[in-house]
Amino acid sequence: MSPYDSILTAKSGDRLFLLGNEAIARGVLEAGVHIATTYPGTPSSEVGDVLFEIAGKAGLKFEFSVNEKVAVESAFAASMSGLMSFVFMKHVGMNVAADAIMSIAYTGTGAPMVIMTADDPSMFSSQNEQDNRIYAQLAHLPLIEPSNPQEAKDFLKIAFHISRDEGLPVIFRTTTRTSHMRSSVVVGEIQERHREEISASPGRYVALPSNSYRYKETLISKMEEISGTNYQDLLVTRMGNPESLHGVIASGEAFNIMMDSLKKLGLDIEVLKLGIINPFPEKIVAEFMQKHPSVIVAEEVDPVIETACRSLAQKYGLSVNITGKLDGVFPMSHELSPGAVENILREILALGRNERASTYQISMEVPARPPVLCPGCPHRGTYFAVKRAVKMLRISDPVYSSDIGCYSLGDYDPFNEATVMLSMGSSIGVASGISAASDRRVIAFIGDSTFFHGGIPGLINAVHNKSRLLLVVMDNDTTAMTGRQPNPGTPVSLAGQYTREVSIEEVVKSTGVDFMKTVDPYDLKQTLTAVMDALRHDGVSVIIAKRECAILRDNRNKKLGVEVKYTVNPEKCTGCMNCVTNFACPAMSISGNRVVIDPNLCDGCSVCTQPYVCPFQAIEMEGDAGAA
């Protein structure tokens, strides 16, 4: 039985303790969604983990698409075919998908379609903290924002209703805190699925200029229609003292923090909670601002609600005093912290300073614990070999063009193999640009999933434009950083069904690169030799470092009861520290003047036994030490 089964089997009225993303997966079932698509990305990934697991049993079609744009196109195709569809991604994935989304806004949908964006304020696992509510304004699409798992599930169903009524895709925005918050959720009925009759006139889905010219007007009038309908009754709530001088307008996690802070400070202030941001619930907000001469707006991350409030105040000639980000009171960057919100309220209400604020000092130096490649990670061997090859060939000032995935951790000590890293698939485009712009040697790194996602056009571009670069494809057979989802290079697609693997070698070969070699990154000598050969080539050379993700192997070994461990023979260890300083496996550390391996962490990969890591052959398989 899978831990996710209860998300499928729970009966209406049951209470489950769910992560926001798990509640969304349940909402997908309750809404009667036929087809769900995604490209994995934190903080949205768990929605896919659940759906991948239960899709077969639930009779839902689920697809890990090659990238977010294809995921949106695929979900749209379902919608125009009369099947309710749901597509979800992390916020930056929406940039990839935006081209398609902008057109769908114009053509409109068939069966209901919802697009989820999981934003990441404070960037727990992202390259930026863009506020995707602004996409809804750009595209003129409705946007709904929940605050907790229960709402995430319930509001998702409302989003599908709006999509059905208006024939528009609806954007559903969570943040890390709502997606990764766990609380009790009362589940509802799971809807039967059915194909809907879609009667589309010829040209209906064709976004040619002549059509789009008309569609734009339709889009605007649909959005005006939503402003006038009663969705606001479902998505906007007023609570607290309606007579208070101050009023609070908030959404998402900012609403949660506000509610806790008001309670902590014993304040009875009216709060207007917005669950729909676009179209802006104009009437109710204007009325609220008329009632309260002072309004505090709390939101994450950009001043979207606040800007709308200020423009409404101007439009209706209201003399309300608005506190938010634009007047410098709330920060323009990062998620809100409860402490900061409490202090802002104290300041506005003249309550005096918070005496309980933490004054705890750490009296000793705490060694940093940056994110790290796992024990047994094949990327460690690749980075080790590349660094050594660069040193042996005396390449000064190389450019390491990195990409998004576990291997971005190669930026940290001791490898420091990231000079530049932008976005999914950018490593190759940037590398070929560097080769055109300078004489520096450039080495690009990309993972298998990222190669398929957005790397291939960059490679074709590099060959076409005669770039001089080395591309290292780090193929670990999975989309590792988001929790090991399959990708086109994996022989598994939906719920364990076997599919055809797309061969990275064949793709690379077909582009006509000048040099290509596949190596096992666990074999340091082979990898080092191949990288040196590749670097001696001009033109585009490619190394494919192929070895499955260590966690995949660990999980399989655990099931099979296989346990291999390595240990340091203290008689042979000279304390040279080459392993801990240059290889840096988390299972290894210094004890006294020797190195030790934590048996609980060692995953048995054996790479550290090779002379490049331990020149004194002091690392031995556990159990062999005595015999040696």
Task: Name the nearest CA neighbour of 5 among 58, 44, 48.
Answer: 58
Q: For residue 536, report the phi and psi dihedrals to the nearest 5 degrees.
A: -80, -15
* Tokens found for residue 402: 């990195």
44 near another protein (CB under 8 A): no
Taking residues 601 to 620 in sequence order and writing x for each that binds another protein by CB under 8 A, - otherwise, the string is x-------------------
- Which residues contact residue 405 at a Cβ distance below 8 angstroms, ignoring those fewer than 6 apart? 446, 447, 449, 450, 474, 479, 480, 481
Single residue of 7, 8, 10, 19 touching another protein by CB under 8 A = 19
Single residue of 590, 611, 623, 628 touching another protein by CB under 8 A = 590
Q: What is the SS3 assignment for 339-374?
A: HHHHHHHHHHCCCCCCCCCCCCCCCCCCCCCCCCCC
Taking residues 329 to 358 in sequence order and writing x for each that binds another protein by CB under 8 A, - otherwise, the string is --------xxx--x-------------xxx
* Tokens found for residue 207: 């976004």
Single residue of 138, 198, 259, 318 touching another protein by CB under 8 A = 259
Stretch in the footprint of another protein (CB under 8 A) among 33-41, 109-117, 219-227, 407-415 = 407-415
Shortest spacing between CB 342 and another protein, in angstroms: 7
Taking residues 372 to 391 in sequence order and writing x for each that binds another protein by CB under 8 A, - otherwise, the string is xxxx----------------
- Which residues contact residue 447 at a Cβ distance below 8 angstroms, ignoring those fewer than 6 apart? 403, 405, 406, 407, 473, 474, 475, 476, 479, 480
On whether the CB atoms of residues 138 and 8 are closer than 8 A, the answer is: no
Alpha helices per DSSP H over 81-127: 93-107
The strand pairing partners of 85, in sequence order, are: 35, 113
Taking residues 176 to 195 in sequence order and writing x for each that binds another protein by CB under 8 A, - otherwise, the string is xx--xxxxx-----------
Stretch in the footprint of another protein (CB under 8 A) among 88-96, 132-140, 258-266, 438-446 = 258-266
Q: Please work out the total of residues on this chain that contact another protein, with binding judged by CB under 8 A.
A: 69
The strand pairing partners of 517, in sequence order, are: 543
240 near another protein (CB under 8 A): no
E strand residue ranges, 321-476: 321-323, 399-401, 442-447, 469-475
560 near another protein (CB under 8 A): no
Q: Is 469 left (phi over 0), alpha (psi -120 to 50) or beta?
A: beta
- Which residues contact residue 479 at a Cβ distance below 8 angstroms, ignoring those fewer than 6 apart? 40, 64, 405, 447, 449, 485, 486, 487
363 near another protein (CB under 8 A): yes
Stretch in the footprint of another protein (CB under 8 A) among 235-243, 250-258, 345-353, 485-493 = 250-258
Single residue of 314, 360, 506, 627 touching another protein by CB under 8 A = 360
What is d(CA 137, CA 118) in angstroms, rounded to the nearest whole number? 17
Stretch in the footprint of another protein (CB under 8 A) among 68-76, 318-326, 497-505, 578-586 = 578-586
Q: Which of residues 132-171 bind another protein (CB under 8 A)?
A: 147-148
Chain positions contacting another protein, by CB under 8 A? 17, 19, 42-43, 124-125, 147-148, 176-177, 180-184, 253, 255-257, 259-260, 263, 337-339, 342, 356-358, 360-364, 366-375, 406, 408-409, 413-414, 480-481, 483, 551, 577, 579-581, 584-586, 588-592, 595, 598, 600-601
